[in-house]
Amino acid sequence: MGFFGVLEKNYKINLNNQQKEAVTHTRGPALVLAGPGSGKTTVIVSRTAYLILELKIKPENILTLTFNRAAKIEMEKRFNRVFSDLISGKKVRFSTFHSFCNLVVKDYEKMQGKYLSRIEGNEESKNNKRLILKEIYENINGSRINDDQLENLINDIGIIKNKMIKNIQEFETNIKNFSRIYNSYEEYKKANLLMDFDDMLTFAYVILKKFPSILKKYTGRYTFIQVDEGQDLSKIQFEILKLLTGPGDLAGFKEKNIFIVADDDQSIYGFRGAEPEYILNVEKQFGGCSFYYLNNNYRSTANIVHVSSNFIKNNTRRYEKKHSTCNEYKYDPFIIEARDQTAQYNFIVDKVNEHLSKKRDSTIALLYRNNISSIPLAEALDRNGIAFNVKQNKLFFFNHWAVQDILAFLKFSLDQTDIDSFSRIYYKMNRYISKAMLEYALKAGYKNSVIDGILKDSDLETYRKMTLLNVKSEFKKLSKKKPFDALNYIEKNFNYFGYVKEYCDGTGLFYDYIYSLFGVLKVMALKCKKITDYLERIEEVKELLENPSSESRVTISTIHSSKGLEYDCVMMLDMLNTELPGESAIDLAREENKAELLEEERRLFYVGITRAKEYLYLIYPNFRNGFKEERTIFIDEVLECMRVKTLNDIAEGMIVNHKHFGKGVIAAILEENKDKVIVEIDFNGVRRKFDLIMCLEKGILKIY
């Protein structure tokens, strides 16, 4: 019995012909283009066993590199679960790219007798990356950096390292004095023998290049290298791979036994420095590269496979593929138009309950482009008794300065002695209250209101006293308003966003983003009757997102964090042009003919829709934050894929089901063109005419 016979009989692993071809690749470079749900992990694990059992390669000579720790753990577990009883002795090494590079750095440290401190992962340490950058930013710019800006700063530093950018001055960023901050940060680390996460890559690259003895240690040990998620490689990672695999006179061997599994259609980490070009041009990097295709999708229904594979063909910078599946046709993607955000959440709640009632162990994913969408979604789910877990939620919303400002208005309305809240907002509400007035109140003292302390100043002009009395009265009235009305008052009467606009113009922050935070607060306020209830609810939602249910079958996640996972039902919400692909991506493609960003956003949408096994809902609200929104152009592209398939398949005699009239038969095709198909359907002798495309889009008709 051969290797594949043993896999099938003993371990129930039945590989298809494409998978077998990839598994039996032995020498030289190879690129395996693995589509969604095509069993790429099974291929890597099986090939590892094939190398050991059939080719007698020693386990310690095989290195498998993964994109993240979760993938490393899953692959290692799966390999050991299946093959541990067949392979004894030394273990195969499964490692994240960063962990491997850290090993290289440790070898260098040992050689030099100098040791670096790692400054990520320990938030309590004073040598913490975030604290160091905060201090450097404040020293250079004379102001504190907020959480959003800090995240952007860290991300931009990562891009510099991953893309190996040398001219920092020409790097485009919204961070004030970025090059000075970057250089100061690098100097600080060097002076204090510190290393961050990105340095693991850059240091390892330099060490492997400058110290042949260390390079030879790894090229001699790992004669077979496998890479998972190759489309997510950055330039620095690709350069490290090239060092580890040749040329022969440097690395110590001539064969470049590198086996890369990738899907260029799922390259979605451009913001981290990943670029699909390295995979698209792999033959230039590794001459004589063999290509293998894993086209069969074991995950999704035929409907979803057909739509997704045709949808991604709108991208031009990609390998051509022929995705297929043996799964049956079931349901086309459901396109859901909601009046506003509240209607969107109501639909989601109803559908989640419907799916769970039909099948209690059904897995459901609620996916969104940006983390901010998780807040009103979590609130709606919890309010309706639906438990959920959160996938890798990185959320700064509740600590954002603008959110804290709005809450300070509300808190001060309830307690006018709350000096902390008043100190946040006194100069942000268009009432001409100065810092000197605040300081006077602190010295003079007050009993019922901070404003009473200011009014004790005998030098105040009469008109100022009248203004202050009005402010005191305003806050008293504000405390009695419903939360939603109170937020409107803060916006319109206190003109808070006039201050925000001016602040954004001066700092380069995005006003629209900050106003969107206010929109989230307003959505959450709709169901609360009192400000006290509203403030409590915000704390409850914060706790929910920080400590979600781990047992729930419902997962809320960004599309990025859902990559590599699958669910029976996927609902993608807030599918708007402003969210995905984003207006900047559309503008760059239309006005400057630069489609790179638009194509990455299309790949992200593709990742989202290919998580679905059976049900896929694409949901968009017509209005958000009171403004009319346009649904994402990607929904139009999905509809076009569905329309083309319908036009190709439509024929007289086909059975259909109408939402109101029940089952019928297409008796005649009366008109057929690019925009519409008019059919006549026979319902038990009664014939009716319909615009087939429109009825299918609205879910009124279903074709069997």
CA-CA distance, 328 to 313, in Å (whole number)? 22
Predicted confidence (pLDDT) at residue 251 exceeds the cutoff of 70: no
End-to-end CA distance of the chain, in Å? 44
> What is the rounded average pLDDT of the residues 403-424?
97
Predicted confidence (pLDDT) at residue 248 exceeds the cutoff of 60: no
Q: Is 667 annotated as a binding residue?
A: no
| pLDDT for the residue 252 | 42
| pLDDT for the residue 242 | 93
Closest CA to 448 of 406, 416, 492, 472: 416
Q: Is 482 annotated as a binding residue?
A: no
CA-CA distance, 480 to 495, in Å (whole number)? 19
| pLDDT for the residue 676 | 81
Confidence of residue 82 (pLDDT cuts 50, 70, 90): confident
Which tokens in the block code for residue 178?
């970025």
> What is the rounded average pLDDT of the residues 201-211?
97
Tell me the C-alpha to C-alpha distance, in Å, between residue 503 and each of 113, 494, 509: 50, 16, 8
> What is the rounded average pLDDT of the residues 552-573?
96
| 43 close to 19: Cβ distance less than 8 angstroms | yes
Q: Is 532 annotated as a binding residue?
A: no
Dump pLDDT digits (tens) for 133-142: 999 999 999 9
Q: Is 38 annotated as a binding residue?
A: yes
| 252 close to 246: Cβ distance less than 8 angstroms | no
Which tokens in the block code for residue 420?
């902390």
Q: Is 447 annotated as a binding residue?
A: no
Q: Is 36 annotated as a binding residue?
A: yes
| 488 close to 406: Cβ distance less than 8 angstroms | no
Q: Is the peptide bond before 548 cis (omega within 30 degrees of 0)?
A: no
Q: Is the pTM of this model over 0.85?
A: yes
Closest CA to 638 of 615, 611, 613, 616: 616
Which residue has tokens 């001016």? 502
Q: Is 39 annotated as a binding residue?
A: yes
| 573 close to 372: Cβ distance less than 8 angstroms | no
Q: Is the C-alpha dihedral spanning 457, 461, 462, 465 positive or negative? A: negative
Helices (H) and strands (E) in the chain, counts: 31, 20
| 377 close to 386: Cβ distance less than 8 angstroms | no
CA-CA distance, 398 to 517, in Å (whole number)? 10
Tell me the C-alpha to C-alpha distance, in Å, between residue 15 and each of 4, 33, 48, 294, 636: 8, 16, 14, 11, 36
Confidence of residue 458 (pLDDT cuts 50, 70, 90): confident
| 435 close to 427: Cβ distance less than 8 angstroms | yes
Confidence of residue 549 (pLDDT cuts 50, 70, 90): confident
Give the strand order in the sheet containing 686-691: 686-691, 677-683, 662-672, 655-658, 701-703
Confidence of residue 703 (pLDDT cuts 50, 70, 90): confident
Which residue has tokens 């490393």? 72
DSSP for 549-564 reads -SS-SEEEEEHHHHTT
| pLDDT for the residue 249 | 42
Q: Is 37 annotated as a binding residue?
A: yes
Confidence of residue 253 (pLDDT cuts 50, 70, 90): very low
CA-CA distance, 366 to 357, in Å (whole number)? 17
Closest CA to 407 of 388, 394, 391, 420: 420
